[in-house]
Structure 1
Amino acid sequence: MTRGFSRLRREDLLKTACEVIATQGFGNTRTVDIARAAGVSQALLFYHFETKEQLIAEAFAFAARQHLDAIGKIERSPQTPVERLRALIRLCSPGSSPAGWRIWIDAWSESMRNPELEATTRRMDVHGRNVLKDIITSGVACGEFACVDPEASSWRIFALIDGLAVQLHVHHKIISRRKVTLLVRTAAAMEVGLTLDLL
């Protein structure tokens, strides 16, 4: 009973932390802000999280869990490599989920000062790249793709996605969502030897 309540309270605090961070950013969020928004004392906050850094890292992981679940569904899907690549590109497109991308971009920046957050963002980045690499590898194995180095291709595709996300969400109106989507689809198609219409 107590453990169940504790787990529920911890998830409530993480959800509130995400809401505060989305408004104020990682760097401007104080533990007192999260405690006030949650209607609890800072002592209770630190009962669940030993440090602010741990709280921030876990809040980011909590916010990103839905994205990871979606990647997991693509990873386990019985669809063809082409269909899975199309789904992953759509999910990770810089034009999708503006609020989610703002948190990601802010998390990358804060990761230079927060080792726990850096470890979390790195783990999630690596996972996404590995899923993409495995999709490309399976596509090459069954003859759907032509790619000599799936790992290098996964790096280039995600580097483009991440870079364009920064341009789209930080430098407003410098590039359109439609143009960003076309650039990502074109690059991904070229990396695996497909025509653009297939992605």
Structure 2
Amino acid sequence: MHERIGYGSDVTRRAAEIRLDALLRTACDVIAERGLANTRTADVAQAAGVSQALVFYHFATKERLLSQAFAYAAEQDLARLDAVVRSAASPLVKLRRMLKLYAPTGRPTSWSMWIDGWSESLRVPELEKVSRRLDLRWREDLAAVIADGVREGVFECADPAGAAWRINAMMDGLAVQFAVHDRVISRRQFAEWIRLAAARELGLEPAQLDWSAPAQDRSRRAAQPQPQPDAVS
């Protein structure tokens, strides 16, 4: 009897966890569409096909719903980052993958959510803690990959932490322009400028950071001599 009761409680708890995960994923979709300030618990309940009472059962307040949804989105990004950082790839490959991971792809809904979250962080302490944690992790992991590359002789950089700050800041700024202002910059320009900035920081050729090209093409393009300006007579 006790075993059956324990089994039932485990199933019930697992079902509740699944419902919570589904609610958080739905909340992220609604927030990306409506914005943090304009998202209501009723909107999330309707999108999830559940009662508003169930939403309040899991989150108690609208503020907790929004902050936990934002944290949920952050954890998804951090999980993808961890997969890159913990891989057995070389520092150069890790850097290339991190830049690709950070770059906007498809519709910029994810970046729209982060930009919205940064704005709301000025007023909502819980959101500020989440966004600060994500930003810090990105910079720390980027700096660690750069430092590994310096030790292996792949990168030339006297200040990995400073380089990580500058690369990260440029990506943030370009991503805001890309997500907020339609057609101000293209996705191709974004990628080219990020590769150029990172290459200059680390003593590389931009082609070495091209995540869209096959490895042999990257090596061949990096080895090509750069055009020299015409000599002045």
State the TM bucket, normalised to the shorter chain: over 0.9
Tell me the secondary structure at the aligned position of residue 29 of structure 1: coil
Report runs of 4+ in structure 1 exceeding 6 Å deviation.
none
Distance 2:39 2:105 in 1: 26
1:105 and 2:115 are equivalent in the alignment: yes
Deviations 1:100-128, CA, capped at 9 Å, x for gaps: 11111111112212211111111111111
- 2:73 maps to 1:36: no
Contact 1:53 1:117 in 2 (8 A): no
Mapping 1:94-133, distance limit 5 Å:
94-95=104-105, 98-133=108-143
| Structure 1: tracts of 5 or more residues without a match | none
Distance, in Å, in 2 between the alignment partners of 1:33 and 1:92 is: 29
Give matches, 1:49-128, under 5 Å.
49-95=59-105, 98-128=108-138
Say if 2:147 is the partner of 1:137. yes
Matches for 1:143-182 after TM superposition, within 5 Å: 143-182=153-192
Per-residue deviation, 1:97: 5.4
Aligned residues: 199
Alpha-carbon distance between aligned partners in 2 of 1:37 and 1:83, rounded to the nearest angstrom? 40
Q: Secondary structure at the match of 2:153?
A: coil
Shift of 1:94: 3.7
Which whole-Å deviations, capped at 9, do the CAs of 1:56-102 have from their partners, x for residues lacking one? 12112223433222211110111111111111111111456522111
Contact 1:95 1:165 in 2 (8 A): no
User: Which residue in the other structure is 1:2 paired with?
Assistant: 12
Amino acid paired to 2:29:
E
User: Which is greater in Rg?
Assistant: 2
Instruction: Indicate the RMSD between aligned Cα atoms, in angstroms.
Output: 1.6
Q: Distance in 2 between matches of 1:94 and 1:187?
A: 17
Instruction: Provide the secondary structure at the position in 1 that maps to 2:31.
Output: helix
Structure 2, unaligned runs of 5 or more: 1-10, 210-233
Partner of 2:25 in structure 1?
15
Q: Residues 6-32 of structure 1: CA distance to partner in whole angstroms, max 9, x if unpaired?
A: 111111211221121122111100112
Equivalent of 2:198 in 172, 188, 192: 188
Distance 1:185 1:102, change over 3 A: same
Q: Could you tell me the TM-score, scaled by structure 2's length? A: 0.80
Cα distance, 1:157–1:85 mapped onto 2, change above 3 Å: same
For the 8 Å contact 2:74–2:130, the answer to whether it is kept is no
Judging changes above 3 Å, is the alpha-carbon distance between structure 1 residues 152 and 109 closer, same or farther for their aligned structure 2 residues?
A: same
Tell me the amino acid that sits aligned with residue 206 of structure 2: L
Sort the Cα spacing of 1:71 and 1:27 in 2 relative to 1 into closer, same or farther, 3 A.
same
Q: Any idea what SS the aligned residue of 2:123 has? A: coil
Normalised by the length of structure 1, the TM-score is 0.93
Q: Which has the higher contact order (CA 8 A, sep 6+)?
A: 1
